[in-house]
Amino acid sequence: METRFNSQLLERAVSELSKLPGIGRKTALRLALHLLRREPGEAKELGQAIIDMREKISYCHRCHNISEETTCPICNDSRRDQSIVCVVENVKDVITIEATRQHHGLYHVLGGLISPLDGIAPSDIEIESLIERVRTEDIKEVILALSPTIEGDTTNFYIFRKLQDSPVKVTMLARGLSVGNELEYTDELTLGKSIQNRIPFS
């Protein structure tokens, strides 16, 4: 039985909040009652921030990362190496890789991975625009930074095939031991890859 409240406004806020992923009606009610207890300005700022973000953020026409302008700040940053493009699945991955501070080139956000099971074909994601960028921009290296899953590997392979005849260098993220993890608890496939791809000690 769904609990009803004696306020349509509360009902509406709870119903909207519970559309968010991982937030059920109970949590939504807790959040709404929390906001009711706080200063009115706090709810106003939260609500307005959500509206503004959705209205004003769109996508970079070049790399498809989120951007408030036609071209995103990363693409516009002349200090970044314009000849290296890191291919990622989604916007979140850009944020994750930026946090490592190890990539100083540009990005290309696919917006998904090839997945025949989920009905996602190569034409549904931003692969054609990547090929076009390689053709028209002065790109020397494409780093494939997709998840080591079946979908990620399929997409990696598809892009690799498409770029095979172009002079661009195609690399991918290393597979190996997780820093800080015990060797004993590393799965066999990863351990095997880390032996195949062993690197000079330094």
Instruction: Write out the binding residues for a copy of itself, residues 95-124 only, by CB under 8 A.
Output: 95-96, 98-99
Q: Which is nearer to a copy of itself, 42 or 197 (CB)?
A: 42
Size of the site for a copy of itself (CB under 8 A): 59
Task: Judge residue 176's burial from the number of C-beta atoms within 10 Å of its C-beta, 0-12 exposed, 13-18 middle, 19 or more buried.
Answer: middle
How far is it, in rounded angstroms, from Cα 181 to Cα 178?
A: 5
How far is it, in rounded angstroms, from Cα 97 to Cα 184?
A: 27
Nearest distance from residue 54's CB to a copy of itself, in Å? Answer: 3
Q: Which is nearer to a copy of itself, 5 or 158 (CB)?
A: 5
Q: Which is nearer to a copy of itself, 151 or 163 (CB)?
A: 151
Contacts by 151-154 with C-beta closer than 8 Å and gap 24+? 151/113, 151/114, 151/115, 152/89, 152/113, 154/113, 154/114, 154/115
Instruction: Write out the binding residues for a copy of itself, residues 20-59 only, by CB under 8 A.
Output: 20-23, 27, 29-36, 40, 42-57
Name residues whose C-beta falls within 8 Å of residue 133's C-beta, 6 or more positions apart in sequence: 62, 85, 108, 139
Q: Is 68 in the site for a copy of itself (CB under 8 A)?
A: yes
Residues that bind a copy of itself (CB under 8 A): 1, 3-10, 12-13, 15-17, 19-23, 27, 29-36, 40, 42-57, 65-68, 72-74, 90-92, 95-96, 98-99
